[in-house]
Amino acid sequence: MNAAERSTQDYQNLTSSPHNSAIIHDIHSAAFIICLDTSKPSTPEQHSRYLWHGDIVNGIPIGLRNRWVDKPVEFIVLYLVNAKTIGLGNFSQHFRSCIKG
């Protein structure tokens, strides 16, 4: 089974529950997402890599587990003690055309 087939199977399993399906519907219909993360990147380079590529735990990349990268805007709140909030925008052609109105 390749990655696309696995992803499709996982999505079908997840949405087979009416409760999960309703949550996924809300997420898909949202204009933006707020991600509450517990990571604590400390340097500008770590912040950048974390935001675009995901976290690294014990030297192992774990990816973008708390991201919905199909949204035009994500607000990412890093470990709340740091009180750092970052906006990550996807400036695709569609998004630019929506801004121009």
Task: Classify strands 32-36 and 73-77 as parallel, antiparallel or unpaired.
Answer: parallel
Q: Looking at the structure, tell me whether residues 37 and 76 fall in a common domain.
A: yes
Together in a domain, 61 and 18: no
pLDDT value at 100 more than 50: no
Nearest-Å Rg of the Cα atoms of the chain is 16
Query: Which pair of structure tokens corresponds to residue 99?
Result: 């801004």
Domain that holds residue 47: 32-100
Residues 14 and 24 in one domain: yes
Q: Are residues 21 and 55 in the same domain?
A: no
For the chain, what is the mean pLDDT?
75
pLDDT category, 13, cuts 50, 70, 90?
very high
What percent of the chain lies above the pLDDT cut of 70?
77
DSSP string, 24-82: HHHHHH-SEEEEE------SHHHHHHHHHH-EEETTEEEE-TT--TTSSEEEEE--TTT
Total domains present in the chain? 2
pLDDT band at 77 (very low <50, low <70, confident <90, very high): confident
Q: Tell whether 21 and 48 lie within a shared domain.
A: no
63 shares a domain with 25: no
